[in-house]
Amino acid sequence: MLQNIRKSTQGTAAKVVVGLIVISFALFGIESILLGGSGNTVAEVNGETVSPLELQQAVDTQRRQLIAMMGDNLDPAMLDEQRLSAQALEGIVSRKLLMQSALSMGLTVSEAELGAVIGGMEQFQLDGEFSAEMYKSLLASAGYTPASFKSALRDDLVLGQVRAGLAGSDFATPAELALTARIVAEQRDVRYLTMPLTPFLESVVVTDDELASYYGANEAQFMTPESVVLDYIELGLDDFRQPVQDAAIEEEYKIQLDNYQYQTENRVSHILLERRSGESDTDFAARVAAAEEALAAGQAFADVAAERSDDVGSASNGGDLGFSAGDAFPPEMEEAVAALEVDVVSAPVTTDAGTHILVVTERRDAQAPSIEELRPELEARLQEADARVALLLAVEKLRDIAFTADSLRSPAQELGLEVQRAAPVTREQREGPLADPAVLRAAFSEDVLELGHNSEVLELGGDRFIAVHLHEHNQPALQPLEDVRDDITRTLTRERAREALEIAAAQAVAELSSGGQSVEALATRENLEWQVELGALRDSRVLPPAVLQRAFSLPEPAGAPIADYVIDSSGDARVLQLVRVQAGTLASLADGEQRVLSQRIGSEYGAVLQVEHQQGLRAEADISVL
């Protein structure tokens, strides 16, 4: 098959098709093809455009969040591009509407506040201090530049002001507080007794005829699950580990000595001055000179950085950029840093980022360990690197061979591997070497299950790769009665016992409701435990949860107590009697509880107000999806 594909791409027709594709890309650009020719806008919100790039970034963010949140349990359908795009676009539209509303109200965030927030973020800190290197690295890995991150964070802070303002603009009136307290602080007097399930279980006898009857009427419950027996080849990093030569270890040691962590390191702080839009050379030079004059006048470097530096990430931390071994900063900065004495302020240094005023706050020389100290680490690193290369080469070779092979036997022989056979696995398998969701999807796919092909070589994580082949397919089958007799017996016993328990509980409720018996007298007669709780609140921890829930769901007694029963999570019956209901009052709540109640009501109203505000903005907006 592969040879046919390769041959077909050498023909004249194929070359013509490829040529047309190249011309299309050249004339119209790859973006117009990938984005469906929709131009530079996918939507407009009150005249503000949503670009394809903005939508794609939102989709990518959603995808990363789903993968991180769901892990191996992720349903591939959740990553459908069309579905994610619709959700992302809805979120972008809502965000733009809120931002437009915030700007119309004059809400903003200062540079100082923005810098303080960034400097205080734990994810950008190393040993409790802001790290510029970590800041840039994490932003890059998340698809942000410092400028785009600052812009997004500024918007988040502004939107937070909108939400906080809406949430804080509503409050609870005294009448609303009193009405809510009437319910929240309500007290109920409850008596209850417990009828355990165990005696009823012990009294049930299940006959053979009943077993057979239940078995025949519920055969679907006793079918074995569909399963497959799989042959598989598994490759792992440990399969390719080999001893490392001393010469390789010595060479790696020399490389390690040249590593930055064994070189002189300088801790650097800077004041960055960026040229502003429309700023003249004279004005910019004046700002640089003003910073130098402040330092010359004796003002602390950290204070000048906090006041004048345009690098918001480091300004909030006194301009600190962390340590560099000569390779963290632009060459112009590193050259100046290397020439500086500790605590001496540099002359202005210009890089692509702007003009820097530098100071070295700390210099340290690292002592390199001996080769014997590093040998285990170096050996393990080299061994793993070589094993990974060998593993990946073997995986690629296995992919090529297994694709055209009728089974895994010949690929295993060619690669010197062993074909293993697993115990039967089901679609819902949770344990064993083949319980990985990716393996199960492949095993029960049409390609493997019905057509009998080898699966693709699957990457399972942790440097593990696996390919499977169907050995045996077990269809669901009815289990013999003898194999499920105990299960049926337990089921029927519990059903009969529960029915008898509910009848006994209903009879007890009838006796209590007729007034012929009290809870205490009934419990004494039947040798049962009983309890009374006076003034129980809705959050009582004394009453069993099932009793508490049922007691507060019953109507207020109109004269005589109300009786009822409930089956709790253990299967026991709780027969209860609601004697009295006393409405709560605001005065019965402590000052702290009243404040919490007021805040809760205000928060609930504020949440409703935010939804209504969003709906109002959307109703009045001019939204076009292109």
At 513-540, the pLDDT tens digits run: 998 788 999 999 999 999 999 999 999 9
Average pLDDT, stretch 339-354? Answer: 92
- Tell me the torsion sign for CA atoms 537, 538, 544, 547: positive
Query: Is 352 a residue whose pLDDT tops 50?
Result: yes
> Would you state the pLDDT for residue 577?
95
> Would you state the pLDDT for residue 24?
44
| Band (369; pLDDT cuts 50, 70, 90) | confident
Average pLDDT, stretch 554-564? Answer: 93
> Would you state the pLDDT for residue 605?
79
> Would you state the pLDDT for residue 4?
42
> Would you state the pLDDT for residue 38?
44
Cα→Cα distances 603→95, 161, 172, 175, Å? 21, 15, 9, 17
| Band (138; pLDDT cuts 50, 70, 90) | confident
> Would you state the pLDDT for residue 41?
85
Q: Name which residue leads in pLDDT, 262 or 221.
A: 221
The pTM (predicted TM-score) of the whole model is 0.53
Whole-number percent of the chain with pLDDT over 90 = 49
Q: Which residue has the tokens 């910019």?
A: 284
| Band (39; pLDDT cuts 50, 70, 90) | low
> Would you state the pLDDT for residue 268?
94
| Band (29; pLDDT cuts 50, 70, 90) | very low
Average pLDDT, stretch 275-297? Answer: 91
| Band (9; pLDDT cuts 50, 70, 90) | very low
Q: Name which residue leads in pLDDT, 529 or 119.
A: 529
> Would you state the pLDDT for residue 170?
67
> Would you state the pLDDT for residue 568?
95
Q: Name which residue leads in pLDDT, 491 or 53.
A: 491
> Would you state the pLDDT for residue 322?
87
How many Cα atoms are found within 13 Å in the side-chain-facing hemisphere of 557?
Answer: 17
CB 577 within 8 A of CB 562: yes
Tally the residues of the chain.
Answer: 626
Query: Is 388 a residue whose pLDDT tops 70?
Result: yes
Average pLDDT, stretch 88-107? Answer: 88
Determine phi and psi for 66, rounding to 5 degrees: -65, -45
In the sheet that holds 349-351, the strands lie side by side as 320-324, 265-273, 354-364, 349-351
| Band (72; pLDDT cuts 50, 70, 90) | low
> Would you state the pLDDT for residue 300?
94
User: What are the boundaries of each domain within the chain?
Assistant: 1-37, 109-158+264-365, 174-183+589-625, 187-222+482-582, 227-243+373-474
Q: What is the torsion angle, in degrees rounded to the nearest 10, for the CA atoms of residue 512, residue 518, residue 519 and residue 524?
A: -120
Pure H helices in 515-624: 519-525, 545-551, 591-620
Average pLDDT, stretch 562-585? Answer: 95
* Greatest pairwise CA separation for the chain in angstroms: 103
> Would you state the pLDDT for residue 25?
42
Q: At what angle do helices 146-168 and 111-119 cross, to 10 degrees?
A: 100
Q: Name which residue leads in pLDDT, 507 or 7.
A: 507
| Band (10; pLDDT cuts 50, 70, 90) | very low
Average pLDDT, stretch 536-564? Answer: 93
Residue type, 71: G
**In 438-518, which ranges are E strands?**
458-459, 464-474
Q: What is the mean pLDDT of the chain?
A: 86
In the sheet that holds 187-195, the strands lie side by side as 529-536, 187-195, 573-582, 562-567
Q: Name which residue leads in pLDDT, 445 or 325.
A: 445
| Band (162; pLDDT cuts 50, 70, 90) | confident
Average pLDDT, stretch 501-521? Answer: 92
| Band (18; pLDDT cuts 50, 70, 90) | very low
Q: Provide the token pair at 609.
A: 């107000």
Average pLDDT, stretch 323-347? Answer: 90
Q: How far apart (Å, rounded) are the C-alpha atoms in residues 496 and 605?
A: 49
Which one of 3.10.50.40, 3.40.47.10, 3.60.15.10, 3.60.150.10 gives the CATH number of domain 109-158+264-365?
3.10.50.40
Contacts of 456 (CB under 8 A, 6+ apart): 399, 442, 467
- Strand, coil or helix: 562: strand
> Would you state the pLDDT for residue 551?
95
Average pLDDT, stretch 546-566? Answer: 94
Query: Is 503 a residue whose pLDDT tops 50?
Result: yes
Query: Is 17 a residue whose pLDDT tops 60?
Result: no
Cα→Cα distances 372→316, 366, 391, 469, 545, Å? 43, 17, 28, 47, 64
> Would you state the pLDDT for residue 58?
85
Query: Is 73 a residue whose pLDDT tops 50?
Result: yes
Nearest by Cα to 575 from 499, 505, 520, 498 = 505
Average pLDDT, stretch 36-40? Answer: 52
Whole-number percent of the chain with pLDDT over 70 = 92
Q: Name which residue leads in pLDDT, 364 or 283.
A: 283
CA 213 to chain centre: 49
Taking only the tens place, the pLDDT of each residue in 404-428 is 899 999 999 999 999 999 999 999 9
Taking only the tens place, the pLDDT of each residue in 440-483 is 999 999 999 999 999 999 998 788 999 999 999 999 999 999 99
Buried b (16+ CB within 10 A) or exposed e, 281-293: eeebeebbeebbe
> Would you state the pLDDT for residue 3?
37
| Band (30; pLDDT cuts 50, 70, 90) | very low
- Strand, coil or helix: 585: coil
CB 577 within 8 A of CB 190: yes
Taking only the tens place, the pLDDT of each residue in 595-624 is 888 888 877 877 888 888 888 888 898 988
